[in-house]
């Protein structure tokens, strides 16, 4: 995966991340195909503050995947979280 430099990461908008926690920390960049794939792969390793936050993040990953034409399997953790809200 292409690493983001600190400057590149800082230049991204909050909407380029699947999840922004209450402290403003941004998690799971989803601004390009490679990072969407990585966000899906690391989704279940990410700590979320609530079930609702996890559900919303999953929806953001799936929306980015659809926009960038990245296939996410129905049985993937992201897909399951988006559907169940859990």
- Closest-CA residue to 54 (of 30, 76, 78, 25): 78
- Asked if residue 35 is part of any domain, the answer here is yes
pTM comes to 0.92
pLDDT tens digits for range 44-71: 999 999 999 999 999 999 999 999 999 9
- Asked if residue 52 is part of any domain, the answer here is yes
Do 55 and 82 form a contact (C-beta atoms < 8 A)? yes
- Asked if residue 45 is part of any domain, the answer here is yes
- Asked if residue 12 is part of any domain, the answer here is no
Tokens representing 72 are 């996410």
Alpha carbon of 47 to those of 5, 33, 67, 69: distances in Å? 23, 22, 25, 26
- Asked if residue 51 is part of any domain, the answer here is yes
Number of domains forming the structure of the chain: 1
Range of the domain at 48: 25-84
Using the predicted structure, report yes or no on whether residue 86 has a pLDDT greater than 80: no
Tokens representing 41 are 């792969």
- Asked if residue 17 is part of any domain, the answer here is no
């Amino acid at each position: 995966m292409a690493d983001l430099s600190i400057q590149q990461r800082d230049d991204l908008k909050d909407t380029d991340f699947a999840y922004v926690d209450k402290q403003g920390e941004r998690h799971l960049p989803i601004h390009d195909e490679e990072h969407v794939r990585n966000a899906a792969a690391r989704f279940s390793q990410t700590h979320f503050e609530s079930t609702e936050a996890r559900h919303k993040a999953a929806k953001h990953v799936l929306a980015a995947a659809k926009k960038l034409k990245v296939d996410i399997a129905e049985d993937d953790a992201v897909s399951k979280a988006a559907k169940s809200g859990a």
